Structure 1
Amino acid sequence: MVQVGAFKLADLSGVSKRDIQIPTRDGESIRAALYHPESGPEGPLLVYFHGGGFVLGFAEMYEAGFEVLTKELGFTVVSVDYRMAPEHTFPTAAHDSIDTIHWLGADLSKGFLVSGDSSGANLAAVVAHEAVDSGLSPPITGVFLRIPLLVHPDAVPEQYRPYYNSWEEYKDGLILDQKASRWFNDQYKSDPTSGLFSPLIWPSGHNNHPPTYFQLCGMDPLRDDGLIYEYVLREEYGVPTKMDVYAGMPHGGTDFYQMLPVHGKSMKDMKAGIEWILKQRP
């Protein structure tokens, strides 16, 4: 890491970075940033989808994490600049993300993970489900979800509503609140009942879902998206899961408050969580 005041920037020395273009189903193409170690054997691949409510953001937003992935774990990372609202509404971002994993021509035998934060974690969850349904081969090794959006508040199944409390409890939360969430949804013109927006209610269920690692923030209106989803995967479908929750942190606090020890802890936890996923491989 490179320290600039209170902020830590990624040190990409020893990491090769270049842009690639990924074709989409409608004849367009989208940019992605590709990172890999400049030396050493080719390692696993991780495809990352950035956050920003389907409206904001760019591929380089989580470079601090990409530094750990490439330098310490030998990963190649593809960070996707999917198309965003309001110019591109639902389900364009989901389709771009699905098209990305079907386009990849890399050797995936060493491991293939999908990941993202917030709305990007939503896309990672959607991709994981579509990959199972479509019989993607080789299959996705694992999923890493950071502060994920996993169900529209109007589409939470009745049996889980007693446990869906953070949406109201932190409706005025720092960084992300209910008003902003609804504005993002209005821009994206999401369909609450579609699995392409609410993967918790994916139509075919969660059988054969890859092992999944979660990072959640304790004072996040989306916290219970992650807690309910993790419970459903683990208890109802037998999916291996691992979870870290950062008490007292608002949505994205582990990234925004880089001056706090929790930022470094989240990076160490990420490394351990990714290593845990790789150990789940048969």
Structure 2
Amino acid sequence: MDPYNTPEAVLQLGVIDPQIDQIFKEEPPPNLNSDPPQVLRAGMVTNEKLGNEAKPASHGTNESVLTIPMRDGYESELRVIKPPNQTPNSPLVVLIYGGGFFCGTNSQLLPWAKATSALYNATVVLPSYRLAPEYKFPTAPNDIWDSVKWLAANAASLGADPSQGFVIGGSSAGGNLAVVTGHRALREKLSPPLTGVLANIPVCLDAQIVPEKYKHLFLAREQNADGLVCNAKDLEVWTGWWGPDYFSVDFSPVNSDIPLAGLPPHFVQVDGLDTLRDDGLIYEKLLRDSGVSTRLVAYPGMPHGHWGYRQHPLSDKAHIDTLSGLGWLLGQEIQREEISRLWNTEG
């Protein structure tokens, strides 16, 4: 049963969690729309470094870096995480960082990548994409598509076999790029095909393109407009830098002219206090109504990317949910206790 099928239920997700409210009072989030993107990028690099230092364990995985050509000759960097005991048929997982399309690096999701590789004996690839405002839409989705096509053709050189599982995922802007690439793989008949999509707090809607059936549930842009994280002003500034075409299929599969029924399973996560909350909620409903297998996890009262507030218990839960969801997409469901033990290993 769908617990978020009425406006009242959806709006209830946006009631702030008391503990995160107290955290915000003690340590207000920085303003992320007042500085130029170059300054904000430097701050993101610092935050990524702190995040990686907080979860330094390699779990026995091995890391390497290589570059591959994009369609215009640009050399884009891939970070590759190989499992401790890699076999030639390890599944392939692609994880895409977020940052409003203007910041972030392919080191951002290293903790997820290392844990995923160790848990599921998977080769995990962290691609890059060029950032706005220097590179506007659709450079980012094209870069990720070019990377995924290269991986599909060259997986064996990395010791991976996509026929054993080929999952793409991402967070925030990376969540957008994951769902867009998932749809593009269907549209352009990628071979081997993708077998799963992780959409973590994705942006994939605009008021102009919400399907009529779900418009009464598209409430987060207004409800959470004045939030401290990823608010309406943030979205206005960031999308101004990126310049998306909201009616393009490279922005959202909602604009598809082919049935969505052929898409692989999707694991979707949304934050209740997020302006992007209903992007994920509604996209998951659209997929489910189209016959696509889905799982949804919502975090009531929590802001965009709430797991960054490590002192809150829902931070750890979100990480475990993500790793568990990747296992579901790979057909390798592992007990949460085992995932938690590995995730909380210090060295």
Query: Unpaired segments of 5 or more residues in structure 2?
Result: 1-49, 156-160, 333-347
Q: Following superposition of structure 1 onto structure 2, how do residues 90-239 of structure 1 map, counting pairs within 5 Å?
A: 90-104=137-151, 105-106=154-155, 107-235=161-289, 237-239=290-292
Whole-Å Cα distance in 2 between the matches of residues 187 and 46 of structure 1?
A: 29
| TM score, norm. by length of structure 1 | 0.92
Which of 38, 56, 72 aligns to 2:103? It is 56
Whether contact under 8 Å (2:85, 2:121) holds in the other structure is no
Structure possessing the higher radius of gyration over alpha carbons: 2
Which moves more between the two structures, 24-33 or 267-276?
Answer: 267-276
In the alignment, is the contact (CA less than 8 A) between 1:152 and 1:198 conserved in 2? no
Alpha-carbon contact 1:174-1:251 (below 8 Å) kept? no
Q: Percent sequence identity over matched residues?
A: 37
* SS in structure 1 at match of 2:54: strand
How far residue 13 of structure 1 moved from its aligned partner, in angstroms, is: 5.1
Hey, what does 2:306 align to over in structure 1? 253
Q: Distance in 1 between matches of 2:211 and 2:142?
A: 25
CA contact (8 A) 1:82 1:97 kept: yes
What TM-score, normalized by structure 2, do the two folds share?
A: 0.75
Q: 2:117 aligns with which of 53, 56, 70?
A: 70
Whether the aligned pair in 2 keeps the contact of 1:151 and 1:201 (CA below 8 Å) is no
Residue deviations 1:186-241 (CA, integer Å, cap 9, x gap): 10111111111122222324120010001111111111111111111111x10000
The runs of at least 4 aligned residues of structure 1 exceeding 6 Å deviation read: none
May I ask how many residue pairs the two structures share in their alignment? 274
Structure 1: gaps (5+ residues): none
Q: How does 1:9-24 map to 2 (within 5 A)?
A: 9-12=55-58, 14-24=60-70
Higher fraction of strand: 1
Question: Are 2:313 and 1:267 aligned?
Answer: no
| Aligned residue identity for 1:173 | G
* Cα distance in 1 between the residues matched to 2:92 and 2:174: 17
Q: Indicate if the aligned counterparts of 2:59 and 2:118 stay in contact, CA closer than 8 A.
A: no
Q: Is the 8 A contact 2:128 2:144 kept in 1?
A: no
Report the AA paired with residue 73 of structure 2.
Answer: G
Deviation at 1:276, TM superposition (A): 1.8
Aligned residue in 1 for 2:339: none
SS for the counterpart of 2:67 is strand
Q: Distance in 1 between matches of 2:256 and 2:162?
A: 25
Q: What is the CA deviation profile of residues 90-133 of structure 1, one whole-angstrom value per residue up to 9, with x for unaligned ones?
A: 10001001111111111212100000011111111111111111
Q: What is the Cα-based RMSD across aligned positions, in Å?
A: 1.8
- In structure 1, the residue matched to 2:330 is 278
Question: What is the CA-CA distance between 1:77 and the residue it aligns to?
Answer: 1.1
